[in-house]
Amino acid sequence: MSKIDFSAILNLLQQRANRPLSLKEIQETLDLSAGERKSIGKILKSMVKDGTLVQLKGGRFALPRKVNLVVGTISVHRDGYGFVAPADNNAQDVFVPARHIRPAMHGDMVVVSLERSPRTGRPEGRVIRIEQRAYQTLVGRYQTDHGVGYVSPVDPHLQDALLIPPGAAGDAKSGQMVLVEIESYPGHSRGAVGRIVEVLGDASDPEVEIRVAAIQFNLPYEFSIEALAEADKVALTVDKRELVGREDLRHLNFMTIDGETARDFDDAVAISRLDKGYRLWVAIADVAHYVPVGSVIDQEALERGTSVYFPGACLPMLPEALSNGICSLNPQVDRLVLVAELDFDTSGQRVGLRFCQAVMHSRARLTYTTVAAILVDEDPEVRAEQQPLVVDLEIMRELAELRITCRHQRGSLDFDLPEAQIHLNEQGYPENIVRTERNLAHRLIEEFMLAANEAVAAWLVQQREPMIFRVHEAPSEGKMAAFQEFIASFNQGISLPVEGVKPKLLQEFLEQVAGQPEEHVINHVLLRSLPRAYYSVNNLGHFGLAADNYCHFTSPIRRYPDLMVHRILKNRLAQGQSSETVNEMSLKEIAQNSSTTERRAMEAERDIINLKKCQFMADKVGENFSGMVTSVRAFGFFVELREIFVEGLVHVSSLDDDFYQYEEERHRLIGMNRRREFSIGTRIEVRVHKVDLDRREIDFRLVEEYNSGRGTRYGGRGQLKPRARRTRREKRHR
């Protein structure tokens, strides 16, 4: 091992040095050769850049904690204060009050000195230096005020506007969305200054909204000319020469089942009844056949990581010629696929599996609505239209129900929570927002995709093949203890075993509360108590599915990890070739990148959905709605409306009938004098008070606050009761 690796430097500064050391002192202490002395400067510079070391005045180096400093990334809350997440993952986040944040901006890597708050005596940070800026450009709304131009960033974490000097606005008009380049960053007593480099357009234009989201969340917006040129070279139809070595499955009744608005079809299914069970074919688009490793399309797909779906729009992972064309399992055309052939016994247990490269021919493009009409509603007209597929669909229902039972028996968790479906008009503006509930058709196709994903992961593990897993770790003791305390307020409880919680225990608890008024709320809180699933080369299992082996295999058109699993599987099937050559990047790097791009896509999708909700509610200011408290914070509580599937905030400052204290462990706000309580599950009447499109915020007020200065009392856990004459006992407590 080289004398100048990271561990040698850390050991020197942590154990052997009693003060910060200069470059020369480090060189001499480590007794380096001439070549090593030249390269150590670069190593120290990289350690400073990633926050492992801090460079002090005079060019001396030290471990941050030894000089009462913390290096990390600052997250600024929209209320002005912030937290620094240390580069040292073992250290705690540092609170930074608003007065000590400048000259930092949200996302910057900063150095903060640790101090004691003069008011509370608690430790807090003060930004003393910026190590690395997070932003070079920003997207925001250009505005003018008395001849002075400025840009208000769309990112709510960036509170301060950027000054646009005369001559730096270009052709921008007040109110337009623009891309601005930062020319000077904020100081302790001055704001940032920028120059508009691109006018994006009108803020209310749906296309501009997507462009703004792409910039804000660093989403690749357009494919390069080279990638589009590669895609144009791909044949539009399957050539006979491509069928060599593939199984011909065109005789099977394959069908796709997706949502009404889907355009790219990754998967198709077919089934047959065996003497003692079922045979299920899950055919997945053979994207790896059309996207060579290292090609321009492959590189850009890796950068994107996933397709990003917005209401009425999509930023695809692959060019449209592939995603909606030759790779999509469109009806009545031949397509190349990778197939998982799975055999199940009469109880739904998998008893056999086989994989092959094949060609298929989809008989129909079905929607969830159509399948539900056939299997649930037994609509005679729809059944007649799809008569050739009805028997197969009924067999699929049998197998899906058996698979649901099997997963249930092993403890798999099912959070059957509704999602918002936004209906847009022809201009792209929201005209309705409704709850979408999963029906039998959703569950059917979901069960088959889960079965295929599990089968692929189990087989590749058996083959000892390095791969990318989809992992979901067990919740922490702290999260479960907090959840246990929360459900106690509903007179519910679970006994947490010493060895750690198992999914079966949580599943049994969810069954226990099923059908009760608090079911919806408890499902939400439990889901938030679980860690987020991610991609990893380490097989840590999937807690939520109670699965020992799990991967993503069924969506290679829209998820890069699935494409990688396809390559690994195909290489293994082709005479056992090693998968180490499938990509220049290591599987670990690809897994980490895929997790990052997935989170980025989710944030962007959530942002646009929240914007559409705000647009829909903008003309409803002053209207009253009934709703339920879904989340409680120190600053107020969020209310989900019953009539419209949107959520808004009732800020604690609007509750002027009492002083409210936040009890974090019980997820509630409670009045100190009247003991009035707002907790998750409380049902209330609210009025839309304000809608802020830029900040994606909907503010509610309690209806009673408009009607009466004193408000309506609550009974039980938030039950609204009609106003009544106060008793003598009540008057004594006023």
Burial environment of residue 288 by CB neighbours within 10 A (0 to 12, 13 to 18, 19 or more): buried
Where helices occur in 516-617 by DSSP H, the ranges are 519-529, 560-573, 587-617
Contact of 461 with 453, CB cutoff 8 Å: no
For residue 341, what are the domain limits? 225-462
Question: What pLDDT shows up at residue 706?
Answer: 58
Question: What pLDDT shows up at residue 717?
Answer: 38
pLDDT in tens, 341-373: 999 999 999 999 999 999 999 999 999 999 999
Q: Helix-strand-coil percent breakdown of the chain, rounded to 5?
A: 35, 30, 40
What secondary structure letter does DSSP report for 725? P
Same domain, 144 and 128: no
Query: Shortest CA distance to 231 belongs to which of 157, 147, 166, 327?
Result: 327
Same domain, 170 and 233: no
Higher pLDDT, 502 or 716: 502
| Interatomic CA distance for residues 296 and 228, integer angstroms | 9
| Interatomic CA distance for residues 173 and 142, integer angstroms | 7
Same domain, 327 and 358: yes
The DSSP line for 485-540 is HHHHTTT------TT---HHHHHHHHHHHTTSTTHHHHHHHHHHHSPPPEEESS--
Same domain, 399 and 349: yes
Same domain, 272 and 306: yes
Same domain, 359 and 419: yes
Residues 283, 287, 289, CA angle at the centre, nearest 5°?
105
Question: Considering the domain boundaries, does residue 580 fall inside one?
Answer: no
- Residue 712 clears pLDDT 50, i.e. is over it: no
Question: Considering the domain boundaries, does residue 712 fall inside one?
Answer: yes
- Residue 148 clears pLDDT 80, i.e. is over it: yes
Contact of 535 with 468, CB cutoff 8 Å: yes
Mean pLDDT of 681-692: 94
Question: What pLDDT shows up at residue 419?
Answer: 83
CATH of the domain at 48: 1.10.10.10
Sign of CA dihedral 690, 695, 696, 697: negative
Question: Considering the domain boundaries, does residue 455 fall inside one?
Answer: yes
Question: Considering the domain boundaries, does residue 521 fall inside one?
Answer: no
- The CA dihedral of 160, 165, 171, 175, to the nearest 10 degrees, is 30
Percentage, residues of the chain above pLDDT 70: 92
Residue ending a domain, choose from 108, 132, 156: 132
Higher pLDDT, 241 or 727: 241
Question: What pLDDT shows up at residue 582?
Answer: 52
Higher pLDDT, 53 or 260: 260
- Token readout for 12 is 């020197």
CATH of the domain at 170: 2.40.50.640
Contact of 105 with 134, CB cutoff 8 Å: yes
Strand bridging mode 313-315 / 123-132: unpaired
Question: What pLDDT shows up at residue 451?
Answer: 98
Question: Considering the domain boundaries, does residue 409 fall inside one?
Answer: yes
Question: What pLDDT shows up at residue 189?
Answer: 83
The DSSP line for 446-481 is HHHHHHHHHHHHHHHHHTT----EEEBPPPPHHHHH
Task: Find the helix or strand (DSSP H, E) in which 445 lies.
Answer: helix 440-462
Strand bridging mode 255-258 / 364-367: parallel
Same domain, 278 and 232: yes
Residue ending a domain, choose from 96, 112, 132: 132
Whats the size of the chain, residue-wise? 734
- Token readout for 117 is 């708050």
Model confidence, pTM: 0.84
CATH of the domain at 110: 2.40.50.140
Facing residues of 671 across strands? 660
The DSSP line for 181-210 is EEEE---SSS--EEEEEEEEEETT-HHHHH
Sign of CA dihedral 3, 72, 151, 202: positive
pLDDT in tens, 89-121: 667 888 999 988 999 999 999 888 888 887 777
Question: What pLDDT shows up at residue 403?
Answer: 97
**Centroid of chain to Cα 346:** 38
Sign of CA dihedral 350, 401, 377, 423: negative
- Residue 732 clears pLDDT 60, i.e. is over it: no
With a CB cutoff of 8 Å and minimum separation 6, the contacts of 85 are 72, 73, 74, 75, 93
Contact of 395 with 273, CB cutoff 8 Å: yes
Q: Which amino acid is at 12?
A: L
Question: Considering the domain boundaries, does residue 545 fall inside one?
Answer: no
**Centroid of chain to Cα 626:** 29
The DSSP line for 361-375 is EB-EEEEHHHHHHHH
| Interatomic CA distance for residues 279 and 317, integer angstroms | 32
With a CB cutoff of 8 Å and minimum separation 6, the contacts of 137 are 179, 180, 181, 182, 197, 215
pLDDT in tens, 13-40: 776 666 777 777 777 777 777 777 777 7
What secondary structure letter does DSSP report for 227? H
Q: Helix, strand, or coil here: 720?
A: strand
Question: What pLDDT shows up at residue 395?
Answer: 98
Same domain, 237 and 174: no
| Interatomic CA distance for residues 133 and 131, integer angstroms | 7
Number of domains the chain contains: 5
Mean pLDDT of 617-639: 93
pLDDT in tens, 453-464: 999 999 999 999
Contact of 675 with 638, CB cutoff 8 Å: no
Question: What pLDDT shows up at residue 33?
Answer: 72
Question: What pLDDT shows up at residue 44?
Answer: 80
Question: What pLDDT shows up at residue 3?
Answer: 53
Q: Which of 37-41, 94-98, 412-416, 663-667 has the lowest mean pLDDT?
A: 37-41
Same domain, 363 and 452: yes
Question: What pLDDT shows up at residue 6?
Answer: 67
- Residue 78 clears pLDDT 90, i.e. is over it: no
Q: Helix, strand, or coil here: 207?
A: helix
Task: Find the helix or strand (DSSP H, E) in which 126 lies.
Answer: strand 123-132
Residue ending a domain, choose from 132, 148, 182: 132
Question: Considering the domain boundaries, does residue 495 fall inside one?
Answer: no
Question: Considering the domain boundaries, does residue 245 fall inside one?
Answer: yes
Q: Which amino acid is at 293?
A: V
- The CA dihedral of 351, 357, 360, 366, to the nearest 10 degrees, is 60
- Residue 560 clears pLDDT 80, i.e. is over it: yes
Same domain, 304 and 450: yes
Phi, psi of 568 (to 5 degrees): -65, -45
Mean pLDDT of 152-175: 92
- Angle at which helices 225-232 and 296-304 cross, to 10°: 120
Question: What pLDDT shows up at residue 723?
Answer: 33
Higher pLDDT, 407 or 43: 407
Mean pLDDT of 303-330: 96
Same domain, 364 and 250: yes
Average pLDDT over the chain, rounded to an integer: 88
Mean pLDDT of 688-704: 92
| Interatomic CA distance for residues 182 and 185, integer angstroms | 7
Mean pLDDT of 54-73: 78
- Token readout for 360 is 């298929």
Question: What pLDDT shows up at residue 500?
Answer: 86
| Interatomic CA distance for residues 314 and 324, integer angstroms | 12
| Interatomic CA distance for residues 657 and 80, integer angstroms | 27
Burial environment of residue 469 by CB neighbours within 10 A (0 to 12, 13 to 18, 19 or more): buried
Same domain, 444 and 332: yes
Q: Identify the residue whose tokens are 């990271």.
A: 6
